[in-house]
Amino acid sequence: MRKTLKQTQLLDLKMIKRTVTRGKTYQDGMGYYLNGKVVETRYDKAKNELVGIVKGREAYSQIVKFTGDSLSEITSYSCTCPAYENYSGMCKHLVAALVAYSDSSIEKKVEEPVSIKESAKGKIKVGDINVLKSIISRENAQNNKKQVYIKPCIEQGHNRYGGQSTFYTSFTMREEGGREYKMQNIIRFAYTYMNKSSFEFTKKFIYNPLEHTVSEPMQKLIEYIHDKAEHGVNSYQGINAGGEVLNERGFERFLKLLYENKIPFNFQNKSIVLHNIVIEPENLELNVILEKENDNIKLKFNGERKESMKALTQSSSFFLYTNGLTKEEKIWYVGSDKIKKYEFIGYMSEHKGNVNLGACKKEDIAAIVSNINSIVKDFTVSKNLSENIVNETLTAHAYLDKLDDGVSLKLEYIYGGERINPVQVLNTDKIIMRNEDREQEIGQCVESFGFGVEKDIYALTNNENIYDFVSKDLDILREKVDEIYYSDEFKNIKVKPKTNFKASTRMGDNNLLEISFDYGDIDKDEIHNILKAFRQKKKYHRLKDGSFLNLDDENIQEMEDIIGELDISDKRLLDEKIQMPIFRMMYLDSKLKNLDKFVLDKDKQLTKLLKDIKTGKDIKHEVPAVVKDTLREYQTEGYKWLKTLDAYNFGAILADDMGLGKTLQFITFLLSINDKKEHPNLIVTPTSLVYNWQSEFEKFAEGKFKVGIISGNKDDRNNVLENYKDYDILITSYPLIRRDGHLYEDKIFEYVVLDEAQHIKNHSSITAKTIKILNAKKRFALTGTPIENNLLELWSIFDFILPGYLHTYNKFLTNYDKKIMKDDNKDVLKNLNRHISPFILRRLKKDVLKELPDKIETKMITELTGEQKKLYVAELSKAKKEISQEIKNEGFERSKIKILAILTRLRQICCHPAVYVEGYKGGSGKLELLNELVDEVVERGGKALIFSQFTSMLAIIQDELKKKGIEYLYLDGSVKSSERLGLVNRFNNGDIKFFLISLKAGGTGLNLTSADTVIHFDPWWNPAVEEQATDRAHRIGQKNVVQVMKIITRGTIEEKIYEMQQKKKKLIDSVITEGANSITSLTENEIYSLFE
C-alpha cells in the first residue's frame, strides 16, 4: 500500500533537497519511501547518527551524520549501493531513508524513554517492538535473538604448470532452524555487519542486528573478511563479492583463523570432499623399532602403516590425514615443535617403512636412538643392541690448573661408569646415549672464553682472556658444569680486591709538606706499571705474582688524579718522602676526606693548619683599636681570614662584592702587622684609585702609616723609590709600574697587594709579567671580579698570589680551561673549586648587608629610528662581508682586533650614528629614550649616573642636557686622579642631579651613593665591568633603592651582547660558587651569531 507524507515532519525536507544535486534523485528517493522500500531506520542519539536499510536490487545500508546534537544540518553521509560512488550528492536510497525517518519518527519517537508504568496500563502498542525492546533488559534481548551461522567452503585448485596451488573460498549462511543459502556478497554483508545495519540475503530472510546475532568465532571470521577487503595485500590473488582466491600464504593464514576459533568448514580437492570439518591438533602415534641383523642396522615401522598424510601448506603446519583402516579423514594442525616428527614420517614413507642403515658407528647409533626418542613415543631397540647401550644422565666435571703463565682446562663427561674427554677420540664398545645438546652448550661456552684445544686439554694463554675468566667467566662455567676442581697453582691466579692506599703527611723543614704513600699489599715497584696501564685505559694489570689488579678502582683513579695535581712524577713515587709546598695540603685534604679506602694521615701541625684555614674567620685575632668600632661583622671576619692565611705564609684573593669595603679590610690587616714588618708594603691600583687609597689610609689609619705615592713625572717617582724604605706604604698604578719595572728590581717588599687585580688577567701582558717578578714575602689580591671573561684570568691572579699552585699555564689550559669552558665538564669544575676555595673569600652584598636597599635592574628596549635603521642595515651587510673575508685571509686568532673595530662601528650606530658618521643630522632611538628617563629623574628629584663606553656619545648627551638647562658633572680618562675626589664630593654633597661617566675611567674606585639611578647607555661585553660601575651607587652608605637601567636596541648586535653577558655571569658564579650551569666561551661561531 502506497504511503502518504504527513503534514508535520521531524526533519526539514528542504535541507534534504539541498544535499541532492539532481532533482530526479530526490523524486526517486521520495518514491522509494512512499512505495515501502525502506526496511528500517534507526537513530543513535549518542552519535547523532541515522542508520538505514533501503531495498533496491538488494538491501543497501546508509549512514547519515548530523552537526552537534541537533538535526538541523547534515555533515556527512554514505550508502553501500554501487551508484553512490558516481554521485556528487546523495543517492535515492539516502533520500528515502531520511524521508522515512522524518515522516515516521513524529509518531514513533523511538529515542524518547517509555516508563514501565505506562506499559502496565496498556499504552504500548503491540506492533511497537522498538519501545518494547527498550524496556526488556539487554541480556534477555540478546538471548532472544536468533543465531546466524556462516560456513566457509574451500576448494583446492590444480596448477597444471607445477606452481603453487590456489584455493577458492566461498561462504554459506543459515539462520538458526532455517535452510542454508550460498552467500552472493560476503563482503557487502561484512561491511553491513560492521556498521550494525540490516542485510537482505533473500526475500525470505533479512539479517537484522536487532533480531539476529552471531557467535564470537563467527565475529572473528566476519572481521577477517572485512579486514581483507579493506587492507589485505600479498596473501590473496583476487577477491570478489562472493569470496576470494587465496595463494598458499593466504590459505595458511585463513586455516590458522579457522583452527584458532574452531570454525567448521567444507573442504574439497580432486580426491576428497569433507563436510563440517573442524581442524584438530595432530595426535598420530608411531611405533618404531631399531634392530641389528648381522652387521647391518635397520630402522622400521613396527606394524603395517595405512595412514596417509599430505601437507596442505608449504610450512607443513596443516596436514590432510586419511586412515585406510578406520576411514578417518581429518585436517590436522602441526605445531613447530612437531615438524621433525613429520619430516621423519616422510623419510620413512619414502623407504616404505623399512630403512637399512648398514654398518653404523657406535656414536651414530647413539645419535639415532637419542634423537628418535625425542620425536616418537613408542620406540623399541632390539635386545642384541640394547645390551651395549648406556643411557645415563650426563655429569660434567671441569679440572682447572696453571699452564705456564696461562690456564688449562680439562673437561670430562661422565655417563654412568663411562668417562669421555670431548677433545679425545672415544674408545669404548658401549653405545653411549650422549646428551649432545648439553655437551655442545658446555663446549661452546668454553670456547667463548677464548680457550683453544692443545692435545687433550683446553688452554687459555691471552692475558685479557685469563683476566676475564678468573674475574667473571669462571662463575658462568660453574653454572654449566656439575663440579669444578682447582689446583693450588690455579688458585693463585686471582683478581685482587680493591686497593687500600694511604697517604701520610707531616709538616717538614722550611715549612714544606712531606708526603709518604703506602700501597698496601702491592709492591711499590709495581706502581709505575699499574699507573701506566691505567693511563692506557686497560681494565686490568697483571702483577708479578700472576694475580690481577682490577684497574676499575676509584683509589687508582684518585691516585692518578693526586699525582697529576701535585706534579709528582712516577719516579718520585718510589721516594720514602716527597716534599712540596705546604699549600698543596688543602687540596689533598679536600680530595681524600670523603674516600673510604684511601686514608690520609696528618700530623698535629697539619691538622691545626687545616682547622685554622677552615675556621679562619672565627679565630680570635685582635682587631686594631683605630678601626675596631668602624668594622662591620663580615669585615672583621674578612680581616681574620687574611690574618689566618698570612700566619701560614699563604697568599689569597679577597673577592668580596663591589662596595663591601675590601680596602678597609686590608688596611685593617696592614695595621695589625705594621709593627712586625721588615720592609715597606706596595699597593698597585688603577690610576683612578691611587689617591682614593691615600684618602682611605688618612681616614682609617689615623697617621699610623707613612704613605708614599709613586706618581707624577719620572723624577718624582724616582725620588720616592730611591727612599722607599722611609715609607710604610707605597702606592702606584698599573700603567706606572709597567713603565718603571726596572726601578723595582732591587727592592724588597713585605707585602705586594693588587687592587682590582683583574688588571693582570692577561698573563702575557707586560704589566702582569712586571708585577709577578716583584720581590715580596707575601702577595694578596683584591678584586670583585676575579673572572671577567675566562678561567685563564683566574689562573693569572693565582700565578701571582701562589705561583705554581694552579700549575703552568699550558697545563691549566689543558686540564681545566678546555674541559670546563668547551666540554662543560662538571667533575673538572668541582675539582677546580676544591683547589681554589681555601684561598678565595667572596661575600655578596645581598648576603651580608641586609640593611642595604635593593638594586632593581631593568632592560630598557628601544628601536632604531628610520634613518638610523638604514645606516645600521647597510653597515651590518658590509661588516658581515669584511669579517668573513678577514677570517678567511688571516685566520680567526689574527683577526680579532679587526673584528672588534668592525663590531664597534655597529655599536656606535646603535648609540647615535653621529658618533660614527660625520655630519649625521638624524635622530637616535636611544637618545630619545634617555631624554624621557632624564625627565623622570628630574621630576622625582632623584640623581643619576650615566655611563657610556664612548666619550663622543657622552659629548652628545652633554649637549642634550645643556638644551634642557640641566647642570651635570663629567668624568673621563682625561680627568686627573687628584681631581676625581673633588668631583665625587661635589656630586654627593651638592644639588647636581646628573654625573656623566666614561665606563672605563669611572667604573671603579668612586663612591657615589647619593645617586639612586644608574643608566648604562650602551652594553659592554663584560658584565662584571658594568656591575662595577653600578656599584658606584649600590654600596655601603646607600639609603635608597637603586634603579639600574640598561638601554638595549632591539634587533641589533646589542641584543647579542646582552645574551653573552648572561653566559659570562654563569661562568663567574660556577667557578667562585659550586653548582655551576653550562659555561661557554666566545668562539668563531659566536662571532658569526652576532649577525644573525
159: Cβ contacts below 8 Å, ≥ 6 apart:
165, 166
Q: Angle CA(438)–CA(440)–CA(444) in degrees, nearest 5?
A: 120
773: Cβ contacts below 8 Å, ≥ 6 apart:
741
Burial profile 802-833: b = 16 or more Cβ within 10 angstroms, e = fewer? beebbbeeeebbebbbebbbeeebbebbebbb
Whole-number Å distance between alpha carbons of 125 and 131: 9
Q: Say how many residues make up the chain.
A: 1092
DSSP 718-752: HHHHHTGGG-SEEEEEHHHHHHSGGGGTT-EEEEE
Give CA 603 to chain center in angstroms.
47
Whole-number Å distance between alpha carbons of 708 and 717: 10
Evaluate whether 707 touches 727 at the Cβ level (below 8 Å): yes
Sign of CA dihedral 613, 615, 616, 621: negative
Do 721 and 836 belong to one domain?
yes
> Considering the domain boundaries, does residue 537 fall inside one?
yes
Do 596 and 619 belong to one domain?
no
Whole-number Å distance between alpha carbons of 876 and 1091: 7
Whole-number Å distance between alpha carbons of 618 and 638: 10
Whole-number Å distance between alpha carbons of 670 and 681: 9
Do 698 and 839 belong to one domain?
yes
| C-alpha separations of 651 from 295, 661, 680, 820 in Å | 101, 19, 17, 25
> Considering the domain boundaries, does residue 959 fall inside one?
yes
Do 620 and 766 belong to one domain?
yes
Whole-number Å distance between alpha carbons of 173 and 155: 17
Evaluate whether 278 touches 343 at the Cβ level (below 8 Å): no
What grid cell was written down for 911? 648609540
Domain boundary among 491, 519, 542: 491
**Residue recorded with cell 688458585:** 491
Q: Which domain holds residue 125?
A: 13-135
> Considering the domain boundaries, does residue 898 fall inside one?
no
Burial class of 847 by CB neighbour count within 10 A (0 to 12, 13 to 18, 19+): exposed
Do 651 and 740 belong to one domain?
yes
What grid cell was written down for 13? 525536507
Domain boundary among 491, 508, 523: 491
Nearest to 793 by CA among 762, 824, 820: 762
pLDDT, position 663: 93
pLDDT, position 1092: 58
Give CA 71 to chain center in angstroms.
52
Whole-number Å distance between alpha carbons of 779 and 758: 15
Nearest to 773 by CA among 795, 806, 748: 748
What CA dihedral angle connects 609, 614, 618 and 622, to 10 degrees? Answer: 40
Nearest to 265 by CA among 312, 324, 228: 312
Whole-number Å distance between alpha carbons of 1063 and 1056: 11
Q: Under DSSP, is residue 446 helix (H, G, I), strand (E, B) or coil?
A: helix
Domain boundary among 359, 387, 415: 387
107: Cβ contacts below 8 Å, ≥ 6 apart:
6
> Considering the domain boundaries, does residue 911 fall inside one?
no
> In total, how many domains does the chain have?
7
Task: Please report, for the chain, how many H helices and E strands are present, in that order.
Answer: 40, 50
Evaluate whether 1054 touches 861 at the Cβ level (below 8 Å): no
Nearest to 382 by CA among 398, 364, 365: 365
What grid cell was written down for 380? 623399541
| C-alpha separations of 510 from 273, 446, 580 in Å | 111, 62, 10
Evaluate whether 943 touches 966 at the Cβ level (below 8 Å): no
Q: Where are the alpha helices (DSSP H) in 674-725?
A: 690-700, 714-722
> Considering the domain boundaries, does residue 424 fall inside one?
yes
Whole-number Å distance between alpha carbons of 191 and 63: 12
Evaluate whether 468 touches 449 at the Cβ level (below 8 Å): yes
Do 632 and 705 belong to one domain?
yes
pLDDT, position 133: 42
The CATH number of residue 716's host domain is 3.40.50.10810
Q: Under DSSP, is residue 149 helix (H, G, I), strand (E, B) or coil?
A: strand
Q: Under DSSP, is residue 682 helix (H, G, I), strand (E, B) or coil?
A: strand
Rg (CA), the chain: 50
Establish how many alpha carbons lie within 13 A of residue 82's alpha carbon, considering only the half-sphere containing its beta carbon: 5
> Considering the domain boundaries, does residue 4 fall inside one?
no
Nearest to 897 by CA among 910, 882, 909: 882
Do 1073 and 1045 belong to one domain?
yes
pLDDT, position 188: 82
Q: Angle CA(427)–CA(428)–CA(431) in degrees, nearest 5?
A: 130
What grid cell was written down for 764? 702575557
Do 592 and 675 belong to one domain?
no
Evaluate whether 915 touches 956 at the Cβ level (below 8 Å): yes
703: left (phi over 0), alpha (psi -120 to 50) or beta: left
Establish how many alpha carbons lie within 13 A of residue 552's alpha carbon, considering only the half-sphere containing its beta carbon: 4
1034: left (phi over 0), alpha (psi -120 to 50) or beta: beta
The CATH number of residue 1058's host domain is 3.40.50.300
884: Cβ contacts below 8 Å, ≥ 6 apart:
none
Evaluate whether 24 touches 90 at the Cβ level (below 8 Å): no
Whole-number Å distance between alpha carbons of 98 and 101: 5
Whole-number Å distance between alpha carbons of 472 and 187: 62
Sign of CA dihedral 277, 281, 287, 289: positive
Do 270 and 330 belong to one domain?
no
> Considering the domain boundaries, does residue 397 fall inside one?
yes
Do 769 and 624 belong to one domain?
yes
> Considering the domain boundaries, does residue 912 fall inside one?
no
DSSP secondary structure code for residue 95 in this structure: H
What are the percentages of helix, strand and coil residues in the chain, rounded to 5? 45, 25, 35
pLDDT, position 108: 42
Nearest to 369 by CA among 390, 352, 348, 350: 390
Total Cβ atoms within 10 A of residue 121 = 8
Do 267 and 289 belong to one domain?
no
Backbone angles phi, psi at 166, to 5 degrees: -120, 155
Burial class of 472 by CB neighbour count within 10 A (0 to 12, 13 to 18, 19+): exposed
Do 813 and 672 belong to one domain?
yes
Q: What is the 3-state secondary structure (H, E, C) of 528-553?
A: HHHHHHHHCCCCEEECCCCCEEECCC
**Residue recorded with cell 677420540:** 425
pLDDT, position 115: 31
pLDDT along the chain (1092 residues), means of 10: 68 80 80 86 85 85 82 83 76 89 60 33 38 42 77 80 72 87 84 81 80 90 83 46 75 92 92 91 82 83 68 84 83 82 77 81 77 75 81 92 91 92 86 88 94 92 91 92 93 83 83 85 83 84 85 82 82 84 84 73 85 76 90 91 91 88 94 90 90 89 92 91 94 94 94 94 93 94 87 94 92 90 86 88 84 83 90 89 84 80 89 90 90 89 93 94 94 85 90 92 81 92 83 85 90 85 71 40 55 59
27: Cβ contacts below 8 Å, ≥ 6 apart:
none
DSSP 862-916: E---HHHHHHHHHHHHHHHHHHHHHHHHH-TGGGHHHHHHHHHHHHHHHH-GGGT
Q: What is the pLDDT of residues 755-766, one digit of tens each?
A: 999 999 999 999
pLDDT, position 158: 65
pLDDT, position 109: 40
